[in-house]
A and B are shown apart, each in its own frame.
Chain A
Amino acid sequence: MDATEATSAPASVGVVIPQRAAFREPLPLKCGRAIANYELAYETYGTLNAARSNAVLVCHALNASHHAAGVYADEPSNVGWWDNMIGPDKPLDTNRFFVVGVNNLGGCHGSTGPLSINPDTGAPWGAAFPLVTVEDWVSAQARLADHLGIQKFAAVMGGSLGAMQCLQWAIAYPQRTRYALVIACAPNLSAQNIAFNEVARQAILTDPDFHGGDYYAQGVQPRRGLRVARMVGHITYLSDDEMANKFGRTLKHGRVNYSFDTEFEIESYLRYQADKFSGYFDANTYLRITKALDYFDPAFDHAGDLTKALAPATAGFLVVSFTTDWRFSPERSREIVHALLKNKRDVTYAEIDAPHGHDAFLLDDARYHKLVAAYFDRVFDVIAGGAA
């Protein structure tokens, strides 16, 4: 395939082909259940070196997938969700690193999830699909690493919920995690965060088309609930200033019409995002991902002591927060930094002054990208020096 066919930014990894790995050994889950058979959808970019020491795992957040970079041959406009970060000469440089993107268990982009056929019943899992956790995702990712012959990742990287997976990697597999890039993260959700998630869930759970989660057989999707859930989420990803700059009180028709149609631009934007999202995302997956977020709390088993929870982690850490992120505020990242400092770990912390709120981690901000690029230079020097 000719990479120049790609419509993504210059220096794209070009056309990529999603792959699948099937696992037959049951995966025990934190909820007490197990999944006997499952598949994970993944993509890779770059080349694994002979020493198998240059692999970087990219963990996705709420609505993304294994498609982190490049485009598909039959969908040239479907650009990977972190394409501005991953590619030749980009901060995560695929000329140097072998990058793995994976769709998490319970997802709706190809990995086994509520949409998949449950081999025991021959019907979609639906409501019967277990409530998976960040810990479960990381266990599954570790098996994918085994499958790919990667004993140790040069780095595990993610933003938001993806960053929580990085923390979990560093805690659960310290010997397999050389560096962790923890971006726009929190060591657990605040009550306010959980509250937003609960509003999103209630919107889905009370949609008449939800049918207790077994809506596939009815040929419907709880789209209305999913739309509201996405709207609530979207509000929390943007800063007040960013919304003011982008939309302000701009009217769609230049005047108010005293109706419930879209009148303000912000309404139009939210409805557009909601329609788009509800057209491709599965409600059961959304419910489970919000629960995984709520449950993640590595300090819980250590009487709330994050320092103890992070004690096993020996990785080098880059922790990055964004000043206007009120969903996972810089203060929450500082908690992680504090615990790592207390454990005398190798840690660098940067607070990026960006106006975009939580979504900043996905955007192309020069200071942020230069920092990540410089950190990956360090990672590369270490693995190239044979110290991996």
Chain B
Amino acid sequence: MNGISIDRADFAAIAQWVNPGARVLDLGCGDGALFKYLQRDRDISGYGVELDDANVLACVKNGVNVVQRNLEEGLREFEDQSFDYVILSQTLQAMRNGERIIKEMLRVGREGIVTFPNFGYWRNRLHVLRGHMPVSEHLPYQWFDTPNIHLCTLDDFERFCGERQIRILERKVLTEGASVTVMPNLRGALAIYHFGPG
């Protein structure tokens, strides 16, 4: 992979869709690594949102402006249509109410970008066929201590969007950092969607 880590491939795919100078809200921003990447690569401004104390501290250390809040409670501090992009990276599957956060994303932002592990990836299917919940690079937890409570496949997410007048603008599917175009719901490990109002 020419030394590009899998995370960077994920970041690079997101960065491709973000216009330079955009205002970005990164939900569940972790230690701010993606935000920092976009600051350098796309000269963005905006904020991260994070609940975990250690991550909030890491954001401050990374020079990322972060607002500590629980995403499950919505995005009350943020005004309608105040961002160009709202990003939800590797967090959707851990949300109690995924539908609400997607709606909130399109309330405060013009467009959304979401990434999640594709449960339809063949390795995951194989785990289930063998009678076990999958444990893998993108799903690293055991069933009993996983924060991931709402897993879905590419097809599930696209149906979800279709039923809610959410327009998918672009899609990128990655496996081990490489782009997957043929049979992505079976061969893709990580889904990245760019979407807007229908």
Among listed A40-48, A93-101, A213-221, A344-352, interface-contacting one: A344-352
A371 touches B56 (CB 8 A): yes
The verdict on B61 contacting chain A, using a C-beta distance below 8 Å, is yes
Q: Which residue of B lies closest to A318 (CB)?
A: B60
Interface residues of B in 51-78 (CB under 8 A from A): 53, 56-57, 59-61, 63, 65-69, 76-78
- CA of A348 to CA of B47, assembled, Å: 8
Interface size class, chain A? 20 to 34
Q: Which residue of B lies closest to A349 (CB)?
A: B67
The verdict on B145 contacting chain A, using a C-beta distance below 8 Å, is no
The verdict on A66 contacting chain B, using a C-beta distance below 8 Å, is no
| Shortest CB distance A139–B (Å) | 30
B53 touches A367 (CB 8 A): yes
Interface residues of B in 62-96 (CB under 8 A from A): 63, 65-69, 76-79, 82
Partner among B23, B45, B60, B68 whose Cβ is within 8 Å of the Cβ of A374:
B60
B67 touches A341 (CB 8 A): yes
The verdict on A338 contacting chain B, using a C-beta distance below 8 Å, is yes
Interface residues of B in 20-72 (CB under 8 A from A): 23, 45, 47, 53, 56-57, 59-61, 63, 65-69
Q: Which residue of B lies closest to A307 (CB)?
A: B79
Partner among B45, B60, B68, B82 whose Cβ is within 8 Å of the Cβ of A351:
B68
A341 touches B63 (CB 8 A): no
| Shortest CB distance A321–B (Å) | 9
Knowing A347-B65, A349-B66, A350-B68, the reply to whether A337 touches B77 (Cβ < 8 A) is: yes
Interface residues of A in 348-364 (CB under 8 A from B): 348-353
Q: Which residue of A lies closest to B78 (CB)?
A: A341
- CA of A350 to CA of B61, assembled, Å: 13
B47 touches A341 (CB 8 A): yes
Partner among A337, A352, A374, A375 whose Cβ is within 8 Å of the Cβ of B67:
A337
Q: Which residue of B lies closest to A316 (CB)?
A: B65
B57 touches A348 (CB 8 A): no
| A346 CB contacts on chain B under 8 angstroms | 65
Q: Which residues of A contact B (CB under 8 A)?
A: 318, 334, 337-338, 341-342, 344, 346-353, 367, 370-371, 374-375, 377-378, 381
